[in-house]
Amino acid sequence: SPPVQPHSRERKLGRKEGGIEEDMAAQLPCDGDGKCMKCGKKPLDEEKLLCKTCVTPWHVECLLTRPESMDSVPQWECPDCSDLAGGESAAPVVSGAAGGLIAAIRAIEADSTLSEQEKARRRQQLMSGGGDGAEERDEKAKDDNEILAILGENMKCSFCMQLPDRPVTTPCGHNFCLKCFEKWVGQGKKTCAKCRELIPSKMASQPRINSSLVFAIRMARTSKTTSVEAPRVIHYVHNEDLPDAAFTTDRAVRAGKANAKSGKIFVTIAHDHLGPITPEYDPVRKMGVLVGDCWEDRLACRQWGAHFPHVSG
C-alpha cells in the first residue's frame, strides 16, 4: 500500500468540517408557493416550521437542527435569524442595524400585551423601514391590492409580490418589475423565477415594458380613484297630480316664473300635434281651443295646447 502522507487525517477532517459548513449554508426556506427551495417538494402545513422572528416557513425534513420537543416549536428560530442573533455558528459579524432589527423584533415578540395581529403588523412595519411614511406605504399597498383584485393575482411581480412597476412580461406569461427583472438577469440567471423556463437572450439584454399591462393598470387605477357620482334623481309628477296653475318648488333656483313649471295640461293632444284643437281633445269644457282665446302668459297657453311644446323667449 502507498505510504500515508503526513497530515492526511487533518486534511480529511478539514474537508468534513467544510462539508458541514456547506450543508449549513445550503439550508433554504420555502418559497412563496409553499415549495421547499432545497428539495423542491411542497410540504404539508404539519411538515413546516415557522420562525418566531421572521415568520418564514421551513421544511422540517430539510433542516439540520430541529426543535427538541413540541413545547419548543413556538420559540424556534430559523438558521438565518439564529445566525443574525450572534450564535456560535454565525461566521459573519452582524452590523449594528441588523442586530438592532432582530432586537426590536424580539422585543415585539416578548410583549405579552400585544395581540398576534398587532405583533405581525409591527414586525412588517419594522421590516419595511417603519417610522415616517409607514401609513402612506400601507395605503399604497392597500390600493395595489385592490387593483390586483380587479386585474387578478397573476399580474403581480413574482419577486416583490407587488403590483409591477414598469412591468415586463416573459414569454411564459409571468410578470416582473423592470428593476426586479434587471437585477435577476444581472446575477447571471437566464430562467424565469416562477417556472424556471429559459428567458430568450434578446429579452434578457433588452427587456421591453408591456404597454398593454401598463394601460390595464392605469385604467384600473383610474376607475378606482374616480369618484362614482350618485345617480341623478329625476323628479316626475303625473299630469293628473299637477295643480291647475304654474308652480315652483323649493328646488327652484330663480324667483318668479323663471323656474316655474306649467300646471295641468287640460287638453289631450299629442306632443307633436299640429292643427286645430277640437272639442274631442277637451274632456273638461268640451269646447276645445277657440279662435281669440287668450291667457295670462305662455305657461297658461301651454296648459291649453297653444305653444306646445313651450316656446321660450
Q: Which residue has the cell 415586463?
A: 168
Grid cell locating 252:
327652484
**CA distances for 16 relative to 8, 12, 27, 28, 83, angstroms:** 12, 6, 17, 21, 21
Buried b (16+ CB within 10 A) or exposed e, 41-67: eebeeebbbebbbbeebbbeebbeeee
Report the predicted TM-score, pTM, of the whole model to 2 decimal places.
Answer: 0.31
Residue 177 DSSP one-character state? E
The type of residue at 4 is V
pLDDT at 148: 60
167 DSSP β-pair partners = 177
pLDDT at 280: 93
Yes or no: say if 49 and 58 are a contact pair by the CB < 8 Å rule.
Answer: yes
Strands 57-59 and 167-169, bridge-based pairing: unpaired
Residues of CATH 3.30.40.10 domain(s) within the chain? 151-225
Structural domain 151-225, CATH architecture? 2-Layer Sandwich (3.30)
Those residues of the chain that have pLDDT short of 70 are: 1-26, 83-100, 128-154, 223-230, 308-313
Residue 288 DSSP one-character state? -
pLDDT at 295: 86
247 DSSP β-pair partners = 261
Q: What is the pLDDT of residues 72-104, one digit of tens each?
A: 788 888 887 775 555 444 444 444 555 667 778
pLDDT at 134: 53
What gap in Å lies between CA 185 and CA 203, rounded to an integer? Answer: 10
pLDDT at 279: 92
pLDDT at 93: 43
Residue 311 DSSP one-character state? P
Q: Sign of torsion, CA 80 84 85 86?
A: positive
Q: What is the pLDDT of residues 59-71, one digit of tens each?
A: 888 888 888 788 7
Strands 167-169 and 175-177, bridge-based pairing: antiparallel
Yes or no: say if 260 and 247 are a contact pair by the CB < 8 Å rule.
Answer: yes
pLDDT at 87: 46
pLDDT at 298: 84
Task: Say if residue 309 is preceded by a cis peptide, omega within 30 of 0.
Answer: yes
